[in-house]
């Protein structure tokens, strides 16, 4: 089962990464000013991740592929890493769908 890992950035903002069972990061958040807002972002990912329509499939200018997960209001709540192929990106989306809904939340102190 995957897990959400909350960390604190150097600028004091909080962010989360969703990690797959193998420990690989499959979704990363923006920076949040409060821990509560970061946890709300995680809840939004859990709620929206099962719905395929919430995923925006993109190609970057350097030809790599990635995706954004959006909330019902259209705001991006998480972004993927860069993938070499569309198939890899789509596998990443399936991994988020599988891992996010029941993932535990852990806070890491750096």
The 10s digit of each residue's pLDDT in 56-72 is 999 999 999 999 999 99
CATH number at residue 16: 2.30.29.80
Give the pairing of strands 3-8 and 104-107: parallel
Tokens 């995957």 belong to residue: 2
Q: Is the pLDDT of residue 110 over 60?
A: no
Per-residue pLDDT of 86-102, as tens digits, reads: 999 999 999 999 999 99
Which run of H or E residues covers position 84?
Answer: none
- In the structure encoding, which two tokens stand for residue 8, read together? 């604190």
Q: How many domains does the chain have?
A: 1
Q: pTM of the prediction? A: 0.93
How long a stretch of residues is the chain?
Answer: 110
User: Taking a C-beta distance cutoff of 8 angstroms, is the pair 44, 71 a contact?
Assistant: yes
Domain that holds residue 70: 3-107
């Amino acid at each position: 089962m995957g897990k959400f890992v909350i960390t604190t950035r150097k600028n004091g903002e909080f962010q989360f990464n969703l990690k797959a069972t193998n420990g690989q990061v499959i979704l990363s958040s923006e920076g949040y000013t409060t821990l509560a807002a970061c946890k709300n972002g995680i809840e939004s990912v859990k709620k929206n991740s099962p719905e395929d329509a919430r995923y925006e499939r993109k190609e970057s200018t350097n030809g790599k592929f990635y995706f954004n997960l959006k909330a019902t209001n259209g705001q991006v709540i998480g972004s993927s890493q860069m993938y070499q192929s569309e198939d890899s990106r789509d596998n990443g989306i399936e991994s988020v769908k599988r891992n996010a809904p029941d993932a535990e939340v852990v806070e890491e102190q750096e």
